[in-house]
Structure 1
């Protein structure tokens, strides 16, 4: 499925749609080049789940946990990982217990497409806007249509 996102309002609407369908145990894998909108979409999802205030990019901390949302959430940015084995050192599985995961740069963490609860979104810059290419995993197919 392809969704054009011509402006920030469209990105916020997609974030709200995702938040509405998100469940603990899910992974939303956000791929795309630098500046494609991964963090912007993650912020829209986090806001739609009820977070008020700033949402820092986890580029340097790698993992930010939001335990008090409608669906507890872990926002991770794996850009700085040099090897997927580093995910074990981060204790990601502990963070994920009972929470959904927003994963930026998922390939650097070994990917999550083998998980049934993974919704893969690739963002591309198209003119002044963005395009989201969405590939729902098994557990997302019925929720996404």
Structure 2
């Protein structure tokens, strides 16, 4: 799959479709990539991460929302990617600057063998790693389904 064949928008009628989108995103991932997940509560951000982790060879049963612990890491085995780090910054909304050390995000985004998925990144100036490829996913509701808008923020996204 290439960036050209990847939909910039998708309708996700159920949780399975959201997980499938995560699996499609997994195909595009390289070690060091960042996935920024935006959207309201219950939009499917953690469900998408479950699909990503599963497609990269991890255990879907381990994936849960890290809202209270802020950061979870899942062992995977695919294409040089050894770990998916999953941060949920919801509880840190409204702070003038993100306390990266509190979350541990500063260390994990520099992990050269990992993909890092971050829920609720929009409240802070992003402090991504040097040269990291960044994929932004905006999940939302429309009628009886969820929607996703997906796009690379960097020039070398495919």
Q: Establish whether TM, by shorter chain, passes 0.5.
A: yes
Partners of 1:29 and 1:112 within 8 A in 2 = no
Give the SS at the match of 2:146. strand
Q: CA RMSD in A?
A: 2.1
Q: Is 1:86 equivalent to 2:103 in the alignment?
A: no
**Residue 84 of structure 2, aligned match among 58, 73, 91:** 73
CA distance in 1, matches of 2:108, 2:128: 19
* Cα separation, partners in 2 of 1:64 and 1:8, compared to 1, 3 Å: same
Q: TM-score scaled to structure 1, two decimals?
A: 0.85
Q: TM-score, normalised by structure 2?
A: 0.79
Report the alpha carbon displacement of residue 103 of structure 1 after superposing the two structures with TM: 0.5
Residue 122 of structure 1 deviates from its aligned partner by 0.5
- Work out whether 1:14 is the aligned partner of 2:21: yes
User: 1:65–1:95: 8 Å Cα contact kept in structure 2?
Assistant: no
Q: Work out the CA distance in 2 between the residues paired with 1:123 and 1:113.
A: 21
Alignment coverage as a number of residue pairs: 141
The reply on whether 1:95 has 2:102 as its aligned counterpart is no
Partner of 2:137: 121
Question: Residues 116 and 139 of structure 1 are in contact (CA less than 8 Å); yes or no, is this contact kept in structure 2?
Answer: no
Check conservation: 1:122, 1:132, Cα contact below 8 A: yes
Gaps of 5+ in 2: 1-7
Residue 134 (structure 1) aligned with residue 141 (structure 2): no
Do the aligned residues in 1 keep the contact of 2:39 with 2:138 (CA within 8 Å)?
A: yes
Checking the alignment, whether the CA contact within 8 Å between 1:106 and 1:112 is kept in structure 2 is no
**Deviations 1:64-85 (Å, cap 9, x if unpaired)?**
1124432221000011113433
Mapping 1:23-62, distance limit 5 Å: 23-52=30-59, 53-62=61-70
